[in-house]
Amino acid sequence: MQNAWRFGGREVEPEQVAVIREVVESDSGLSRTRLAQTVCELLDWKRPRGSLKGRECGEFLEELEAAGVLRLPDKRVGRPRGSRTRVPVTELGEPGPPLMGTVADLAPLMLEEVRRPEERLRVRELIGRHHYLGYAVPFGAQLSYLAYATRPERTLVGCVQFSSPAWRMAVRDRWIGWDDATRAGNLQQVVNNSRFLILPWVRVKNLASAVLSVAARRLVEDWRRRYAVAPVLMETLVDPARFSGTCYRAANWICLGCTAGRGRMDRHKARLGAAPKLVLIYPLVRDAAARLRERS
């Protein structure tokens, strides 16, 4: 058995691993989701607002299984985080008439937080059909917006999705000045812009950077209301083989360099250098790096 396990950046004690094994062995009739929720309840693995870290715990249980520590029940039909999911195809996702002009012609721009099931389906369809990465179940905490122009009439122009940040990115962590312990304590104050789509029939110069600027003004309060955490930094990854991050740079995001190219799920470094991405950040407060270095 591995001597040092970590969950959410904190060491998991052998006694806690023993509790996890006992839960899995004694409640073998439960689904993986319910097992993860039970473990979170017993070990008090919760978010600041009190919700269980069920998704993260489910991944941790799979890590223990891969190491031979325990045996999980077979997977049931579901949508694990980061996985592809069915994309609806409706008239709402069909290309609209070309929209051209300037940002001033469309202003003011509005972002509407996605809350209702039909709005979530619309975001899934738009990203699934029109974003080159497609739609995947977001990681951890998440929040999405639909972006609208208000002139000459209210028109949907895109969508923006935010989710939990990458656990470790060398260039970001160096910029902040993080060690492992401080990162573990403060990572929840970073939010990842995991998807950003301007609809392909909307051809308005500088619209993308304008939408990003509106999102930066909205995110802090909306994220705080939903998760009881005020983010101080946004991050995103850009594929340099396709894009240079122009709209982010125009919205005053800072390019820090490239990732190692492993991807979020490559725990054993099998894909090192396979797909490096540009890392861009946007401080939401003036002293973002200093705040993220503070020890709790």
pLDDT in tens, 63-122: 999 888 999 988 765 555 555 567 888 898 999 999 999 999 999 999 999 999 899 999
Q: What is the pLDDT of residue 265?
A: 45
pTM of this prediction? 0.73
- The two three-digit tokens of residue 284, written as one number: 């939401």
Calpha distance 237→275 (Å, rounded):
11
Calpha distance 144→114 (Å, rounded):
5
pLDDT tens digits, residue range 193-240?
999 999 999 999 999 999 999 999 999 999 999 888 899 999 999 999
Q: What is the pLDDT of residue 138?
A: 79
Classify burial at 267, counting beta carbons within 10 Å of its beta carbon; exposed 0-12, middle 13-18, buried 19 or more.
exposed
pLDDT tens digits, residue range 156-165?
999 999 998 9
Chain position carrying tokens 């190491």: 67
Q: What is the pLDDT of residue 216?
A: 97
Q: How far is CA 115 from the centre of its chain?
A: 17
The mean predicted confidence, pLDDT, of the chain is 88
Give the three-class secondary structure for 156.
strand
Q: What is the pLDDT of residue 296?
A: 66
- Residue 136: closest CA among 161, 114, 115, 111: 161
Could you tell me the CA-to-CA distances from 58 to 6, 136, 154 in Å, in that order? Answer: 13, 17, 41
